[in-house]
Each structure stands twice: as C-alpha cells, then as structure tokens.
Amino acid sequence: MKLLEERIRKDGRVLGQDVLKVDTFLNHQIDPELLSAIGEEFARLFAGKNIDKILTVESSGIAPAVFTGLALHVPVVFARKNKSLTLPDDVWIADVYSFTKQTTNHIMIDHRFLKAGENVLLIDDFLANGQAIEGLLAITQQADAQVVGVGIVIEKTFQKGRQILDDRGIQVESLARIQSFESGQVQFLS
Ligand code: 5GP
C-alpha cells in the first residue's frame, strides 16, 4: 500500500536492529484518514469471505481493526491483556509473549463475544514473530470459530511470524512488507 509505505518512510523511526516506531500515526497518535484507507484496503482484500467479526489484541490492534470493521460492517472484538493470576470465568484465554515489551500476558475474550462456527478475520498492527496472532488463533480454536484470514498493517519479513502462518495455510495480507532495517533505513520488499 503506497500511501502507508510513504508514511513509514517519512515518519517511521528505526530502533536498534528490529523495531520500527510508528507512534506518530499508528499506535499512539493515530491518523484517522490513513487508518480509514487501511480499513478500506483490508475490506477489499478480504471481500467475499463472509466475515462475521474481527478479532484483535489491545491496544495497538484496535485502530486498524475498528476501521476494517467499519468498512466491512461487522463488529470488532479486542482480546484484553491480563497479568493477574486470578482469571475470570467464561473467557477464552491464551498466553502471548510480547516482542516489544519482553513480557508474557494472558489475552482473553469473553465467551459472549466469540461463538462456535463464526468466521473471523484477525487484524494486528505488526507481524514480527507471530506470537500475538498465534494467541488469537489459539483462542479461536478453543471457541471453535474459523479464521478466514489475517490482516497485518506492517510485516517484518525477516522475523518468523509469516512462516508460521504460511505453514498453517492461512491467508495473510500485509499492507507494508519490510525486508530489513539496513543502516537504520527501512527497506521494503519489492
Ligand atoms: P509478534 O507477536 O508477531 O512477535 O509481535 C506483534 C506485536 O508486537 C504487535 O501487536 C505489536 O504491538 C508489537 N510489535 C512487534 N514488532 C513491532 C515493531 O517493530 N514496532 C512496534 N511499534 N510494535 C511491534
């Protein structure tokens, strides 16, 4: 997606070897016009998939997921993160190791918001090592729901998330695919 690549080139900041900071437009301050275009693009890519709802993880997946839900006219559910040892009843739950925070969280979705047989689209801001999406996959499996695809705003192709999802035969659509951060510069996969 050209508009997104241009924005990453202009405003993205590379931190260390493998982290891209996009807090000026995606996950702290949010540019609604860009996010609206992102939602429309996911809706186009997953058209005709009979999607019942969109799942994401709080907090940075919520903005792209909501704009996609708006474009597809379906509800959006975000998995909540929970660090406490006491867990509520009636939730689907998975453990997710956070790439950027280097901590493990439970993520959970109330049984009321994910039912057997529902067709779900998973959306997230980044695909790195695939832990967040694997957590959502585990939750959909527990609920007996079907994953019809995964939409990622920014994929880092040099990390292992894409391989994990390809091995499972899941349709993954990434709007920007980054090949490397050589010399602190973002190189997109051409
Ligand atoms: P994964 O679970 O695929 O390893 O990482 C995905 C999650 O980690 C995303 O939900 C995102 O919040 C965070 N993340 C991974 N890589 C980056 C990055 O380069 N920049 C930012 N801002 N977040 C990232």
Check residues 99 and 189 and name the one with the higher pLDDT: 189
Pocket lining: 152 vs ligand 1, CB cutoff 6 Å: no
Q: Which residue's CA is the closest to the ligand 1 atom numbered 8?
A: 99
Band (84; pLDDT cuts 50, 70, 90): low
CATH of the domain at 129: 3.40.50.2020
**pTM of the full structure:** 0.97
Give how many domains the chain has, as a whole number. Answer: 1
DSSP per residue over 64-106, as a string? HHHHHHHHHT--EEEEEEE--S---SSEEEEEEE-TTT--EEE
Task: Taking residues 15-39, report their average pLDDT.
Answer: 97
Pocket lining: 155 vs ligand 1, CB cutoff 6 Å: no
Q: Work out the end-to-end distance of the chain between its first and last CA atoms, rounded to an integer number of angstroms.
A: 12
Pocket lining: 129 vs ligand 1, CB cutoff 6 Å: yes
Band (83; pLDDT cuts 50, 70, 90): low
Domain hosting 11: range is 2-188
